[in-house]
């Protein structure tokens, strides 16, 4: 059963949504529904894009955020 939902958004955001709707061939309602469905998904179960899959394993599992920040500071001195 479909029910009407009223959203109050900034005009610019609405214009951008309508442009995206025209580009993709999906209605704004369909795009909002697709987004709402993602809220129910477990991020661990999401399908990774081929580009992201290619990055898996690039860093050793022992690298933590602190090590990464130290690396960036050293690199950009």
In this predicted structure, the answer to whether residue 77 has a pLDDT above a threshold of 90 is no
Give dist(CA 53, CA 34) in Å, integer: 23
What percent helix, strand, coil does the chain show, rounded to 5? 60, 0, 40
* CA–CA distances in Å: residue 44 to residues 40, 48, 50: 12, 10, 16
pTM equals 0.52
List pLDDT tens digits, range 28-72: 999 999 988 888 876 666 677 888 878 877 777 777 888 888 888
- Ranges of each domain in the chain: 11-75
């Amino acid at each position: 059963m479909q029910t009407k939902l009223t959203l109050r958004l900034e005009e610019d955001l609405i214009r951008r949504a309508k442009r995206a709707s025209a580009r993709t061939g999906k209605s704004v309602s369909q795009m909002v529904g697709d987004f709402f469905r993602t809220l129910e998904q477990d991020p661990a179960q999401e399908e990774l894009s081929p580009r992201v899959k290619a990055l898996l394993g690039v860093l050793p599992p022992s690298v933590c955020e602190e090590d990464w920040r130290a690396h960036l500071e050293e690199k950009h001195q």
